[in-house]
Amino acid sequence: MSSIGPPTGMRDWLPQDALLRQHLMETIGRMYRLYGYLPIDTPVMEDLSVLLGKGGGENEKLLFKVLKRGEKLAQAKEQNKDIADYGLRFDLTVPLARFVATHQGKLPKVFRRYHIAPVWRADRPQQGRYREFYQCDIDVVGGATPDYEVEVITATERVLKELNLGKYRFRLSDKRLLPLLLSGLGASVDQLGSLTIALDKLDKHPDQVFEELRGLLAHDSDLAGKVHSFVMFAYDTWKHKTGRHERIEYFTKYWDMVTPSARRAELDAVLANLQSIMNSVLKVNPGSCIVFDPILVRGMDYYTGPVYEAVVEGYPSSILGGGRYDGLIGRFAGKPIPAVGCSIGFERILSILQERKSGQAAATVSRVLLVNDGQSRDLLQQRAEQLRNAGICIETYLEQDDPGKQFKYAEAACIKWAIESFDESTSTVTVRHLSERRDLTMSLPAFLTLLAGKAPA
Amino acid sequence: MSSIGPPTGMRDWLPQDALLRQHLMETIGRMYRLYGYLPIDTPVMEDLSVLLGKGGGENEKLLFKVLKRGEKLAQAKEQNKDIADYGLRFDLTVPLARFVATHQGKLPKVFRRYHIAPVWRADRPQQGRYREFYQCDIDVVGGATPDYEVEVITATERVLKELNLGKYRFRLSDKRLLPLLLSGLGASVDQLGSLTIALDKLDKHPDQVFEELRGLLAHDSDLAGKVHSFVMFAYDTWKHKTGRHERIEYFTKYWDMVTPSARRAELDAVLANLQSIMNSVLKVNPGSCIVFDPILVRGMDYYTGPVYEAVVEGYPSSILGGGRYDGLIGRFAGKPIPAVGCSIGFERILSILQERKSGQAAATVSRVLLVNDGQSRDLLQQRAEQLRNAGICIETYLEQDDPGKQFKYAEAACIKWAIESFDESTSTVTVRHLSERRDLTMSLPAFLTLLAGKAPA
């Protein structure tokens, strides 16, 4: 049993990582609460009928199904029926749709919520991909106007700023834009899917994209030329990353190629909506990093309007994405319900913070070791209580070991300071900086200041 | 689909309850971190072999099992093997034992951790009992001396104080005490189980207990008399609830009945250990509510020494319990590992807080509605940002409705204040107290003070 571990593709959270996860959850939650968003939660499992919807498809393969129990299991086996009744949720969107249907009467007509929780997918485990992982979804259910896009984007940029992730670009487009443009340039309906799938890789594998486009459009040199020119132009703009050129009107020559006029009018409406969102976001938050990016393809089929994602400089994949999806949330409620939201790449941000010391530090509890001087243990624990009353996280060394061994223990446990003695009458402590092997005597308030990361007063 | 809901016996968490749950988690975590305890987490599922251990028994019936997937499922069906490979954890103790085995080299030799997380049991659902519910375990793994009992009890009483649950009694006994006493009075080994099971109900159904005792001991009037006298004496002591008499020496006449002398010596060692723990707890924390209670029976088989539980005045069941269990944690590590801990009745405390307005209030986010005055929406969202920068949680009303409808919406959403206008140049707000239908104009700092629950400066 020496190699016993968690299930394949799942992780234990040791204290440092558990603290960092908590810190990230709290930071995200605090920011969205500033915007009136409140937390909800749902059970980890849902009825299979809820999870599989119509047909099931891809999701069914990834599903962890829960076996029926007792009588029902015996019956199902006997009658050759389904032996599973529940499944673990594979995202937080299906549970939200079910939640909205269940609590229809009780929710405000504009329902702002966030949900940070694990989901499960029986994917083939690989580097950085887990079968149990956290998602973090923020959504406004019932908000139909683009003002809600403005709010969600503004709130999300505040989260990015608060997390101190560094320079990022918040890319905005519309799910309808590429199909309108491409068919407006002459692509047929059945080409749209493969073209957008190809374009999705533009920022990671540009050469491959251009080759695929040539293959896909070999039969129509006029269309191929226009698409190539457009994609090349967008790619160059993107590569410059100045933000200066990433404006909708910069692409006017391509919009002008769109025919017939009805389609052009549709495209113009989509563009006007995007322009209005960008203008508002920049007015509300002049520090916004929003940019227009016509090649943005959000994979999810369920988006129906504006889509966006954020990319942090130095990291290839987006760290969050979202958009408007007016067709999904009403699925179980039996009526159309507009919705716009954002899914934060919780695990990706977590791994960025783990890489960076700043993130680690933010999540570290400043535990202090209270050295066991071999005197009365009651006195030792009394002193520990007094120090805790002053707000210090005290780990009391309760074993009988010499100080050297105690210091070693503390260093291994990532503890920075040890209190060697505490004189309550004068409120004086003698402390040791463990890695520097330096002893200091000072007042308790001075030590508190030191712990808080400031120079002693 | 109109009656769609979560799985039987499981709950959705609407915002108010989700906030309260978060508040409780944070409070508990903060208190234990003061004592050097750190959070961990494990996957919701474990290998079936881990969960079922030797034999399985009761736990197997309560287990939610996870179906194998793809190839493996097909193979298992074909070969008539087990079709499930994982199960959802039914407690946090088995995962801790597995965690300790997995990370043996990486954990400090004295490992203080807390774990607050859901567990699943396919119990018959009933009032106040769920199939998905939270547990909250605090344990010191690797601490063999009674100093750790003192620490765990002191930390836990700090949690109770911080949660403001009111008067409580922290009952202390030892798993070995009743068996030693009862056999010392003349009970046979095979009577011990049924006697302690009967005694477990003493605080809830005393009459029933005395009747059961009469039945169990009908054959031996001497033993029956002694046991009856002891239990009656303990029950009277307990009913007085003064704490004054709940001392070990108060029961001396019963200890003196114990024979033979070897057993008496064993009992005395157990009592001396308890006395030492009580003395230390009271020295370290003079406000402690610890009392000796010889009838305390903690159900779990795995306890090996001191056990304790806390009962809040006005609530029949204990709200937390724990003790020393030196035989369990080493199960997967293949060596004996001492451990002492406490399991906080998270759901029970949550329901007490839900009943009390104070608990609710502590968890409420002071959201403020920013009224949509029909002017520019960009300006509205700009103002919202400025107010958020001042630290106020602002829900902006983005629909086009008259103020009356907006106020109604806010009241229904448990929002107390609405900001009707904000003049940035003078930093002045006009606000409405919604339930009192009262409008006030004041400086933004004065409003912040008001929100913080203090009288305006």
Task: Dump pLDDT digits (tens) for B64-106.
Answer: 999 999 899 999 999 999 999 999 999 999 999 999 999 998 9
Burial, B250: exposed, middle or buried (Cβ in 10 Å; 0-12, 13-18, 19+)? middle
Which helix (H) or strand (E) covers residue A312, if one does? strand A306-312
Which residues in chain B are closer than 8 Å to A385, comparing Cβ atoms? 154, 284-285
Kindly list the residues from chain B whose CB atom is less than 8 angstroms away from the CB atom of residue A413.
108
Does the pLDDT at position B359 exceed 70? no
Residue from the list A132, A158, A393 with its beta carbon closest to the beta carbon of B34: A393
Identity of the residue in B33, B42, B108 whose CB atom sits nearest the CB atom of A409: B108
pLDDT tens track, chain A, 457 positions: 447 999 999 999 999 999 999 999 999 999 999 999 999 999 999 999 999 976 556 778 899 999 999 899 999 999 999 999 999 999 999 999 999 999 998 999 999 999 999 999 998 877 778 999 999 999 999 999 999 999 999 999 999 999 999 999 999 999 999 999 999 999 999 999 999 989 988 888 889 999 999 999 998 999 999 999 999 998 888 776 655 546 899 899 999 999 999 999 999 999 999 999 999 999 999 999 999 999 998 777 889 999 999 999 988 889 999 999 998 999 999 999 999 999 999 999 999 998 887 666 766 778 999 999 998 989 999 999 999 999 999 999 999 999 999 999 999 888 999 999 999 999 999 999 999 999 999 999 999 999 987 544 3
Which chain B residues have a beta carbon less than 8 Å from that of A10? 43, 45
Mean pLDDT (chain B) is: 92
pLDDT in tens, B223-276: 999 999 999 998 888 776 655 556 899 899 999 999 999 999 999 999 999 999
Mean pLDDT, residues B49-74 taken together: 86
Nearest-CA distance B381 → chain A (Å): 6
Q: Binning pLDDT at 50, 70 and 90, where does residue B121 land?
A: very high
In the three-class reduction of DSSP (H, G, I as helix; E, B as strand; rest coil), residue A126 is classed as strand
CB atoms within 10 A of CB B193: 10
Choose among A1, A47, A279: nearest Cβ to B332. Answer: A1
- pLDDT, residue A300, reads 72
B338 to chain A, closest Cα gap in Å = 13
DSSP state of B85: E
pLDDT in tens, B280-336: 999 999 999 999 999 998 777 889 999 999 999 988 889 999 999 998 999 999 999
CB contact under 8 A, B12 and A103: yes
Which has the closest alpha carbon to A138: A111, A170, A162, A120?
Answer: A111
Beta bridge partners, B355, equal none
Q: Do B67 and A65 touch (CB under 8 A)?
A: yes
Residue B162 pLDDT exceeds 90: yes
- pLDDT at position B122 over 80: yes
Report the distance separating Cα A211 and Cα A172, nearest Å: 26
Q: Say yes or no for a CB contact (<8 Å) between A381 and B332.
A: no
Bridge-based pairing state of the strands B367-370 and B393-396: parallel
**Closest by CA position to A195, among listed A185, A174, A204:** A185
CA distance linking residue A31 with residue A372, whole number of Å: 42
Q: What are the chain A neighbours of B395 within 8 Å (beta carbons)?
A: 35-36, 112
Chain A residues whose beta carbon lies within 8 Å of the beta carbon of residue B88: 44, 66
The predicted structure's pLDDT at residue B212: 93
pLDDT computed for residue A366 by the predictor: 86
Virtual CA dihedral for B259, B264, B267, B273, nearest 10 degrees? 170
CA distance A293 to chain B (A): 23
Are the CB atoms for B350 and B20 separated by under 8 Å? yes
- Which value, to the nearest 10 degrees, does the dihedral of the CA atoms of residues B77, B80, B83, B87 take? 180
**B407 CA: distance to closest CA in chain A (Å):** 13
CA pair distance A318, B452, nearest whole angstrom:
38
Model confidence at B457, in pLDDT bands (50, 70, 90)? Answer: very low
Query: Is A112's CB within 8 Å of B7's CB?
Result: no
Enumerate domains of chain B plus CATH numbers. Answer: 1-44+89-175+301-364 (3.30.930.10), 176-297 (no CATH), 366-451 (3.40.50.800)
Q: Tell whether the model's pLDDT for residue B25 goes beyond 60.
A: yes
**Cβ neighbours of A69 in B, within 8 Å:** 61, 63-65, 122
Of B69, B154, B385, which has the smallest distance from its Cβ to A381's Cβ?
A: B154
C-alpha of A56 from chain center: 25
Q: How far is B398 from chain A (nearest CA, A)?
A: 7
A157 touches A319 (CB < 8 A) = no
d(C-alpha A31, C-alpha A138), whole Å = 11
Q: What is the mean pLDDT of residues B434-451?
A: 95
Residues A50, B4 contacting (CB under 8 angstroms) = yes
Query: Taking CA atoms, what residue in B is nearest to A133?
Result: B43
Q: How far apart are CA B68 and CA A72, in angstroms?
A: 19
User: How do residues A69-86 score in pLDDT, each as one tens digit?
Assistant: 989 999 999 999 999 999
CA distance B132 to B118: 6
pLDDT at B407 over 90: yes
